[in-house]
Amino acid sequence: VAWPAATQDSLLNICMDAKHHKTEPGPEGQLYGQCVLWKDNACCTANTSMEAHEDQSYLYNFNWNHCGAMPEKCKRHFIQDTCLYECSPNLGPWIDQADTSWRKERIRDVPLCKEDCDQWWEDCQDAVTCKVNWHKGWNWTTGTNQCPMGAMCQKFKFVFPTAAALCEQIWSGSYRYTSYHRGSGRCIQMWFDPAQGNPNVAVAQYYA
């Protein structure tokens, strides 16, 4: 089916309607830390990029260390995941309606490159959590997420037995595990070298 070009273009270079996103993407000279990859064209502000690196940031009051300290090599993947979600203007083809109080839109089934997912799992397998789906079911009585009553803290490798399980389940289907490789033009990269340009632009065009 050949869609009219207008529909296609409306999926490209856009920001989702969510809690901290700008209304439209543009340059952000001061992006912080791991989010710097998106400074030429970002949906996040410098403030958001800074908060993405905090252990318990005001972005969502979410605590990575809910079962004890998350190892740094694991945490960097969650920071990168936050940077991609908050900053990328290339997720249009996967934006979906969300019926939560804090956002109108979310992403669903973003095809993640195999290496990004495998490495995330590899670096996090000994980190500890008590939940498979981190989007819901937490105990928020203290104002930050705590394990629900009766939930046991276990290593990631038991909670998420495969890389696919981690990427697809942790944010309730936001990502899809693929066998596509970085640079294939068929999968979204959480990590890339900004000097080479943003490879996700072409991927969004392909799926749009």
* pLDDT tens-digit map of 16-75: 999 999 999 999 989 999 999 999 999 999 999 999 999 877 788 899 999 999 999 999
Predicted confidence band of residue 10 (pLDDT cuts 50, 70, 90): confident
Contacts of 133 (CB under 8 A, 6+ apart): 169, 170, 171, 172
Residue 6 pLDDT > 80: no
Contacts of 116 (CB under 8 A, 6+ apart): 182, 187, 189, 190, 191
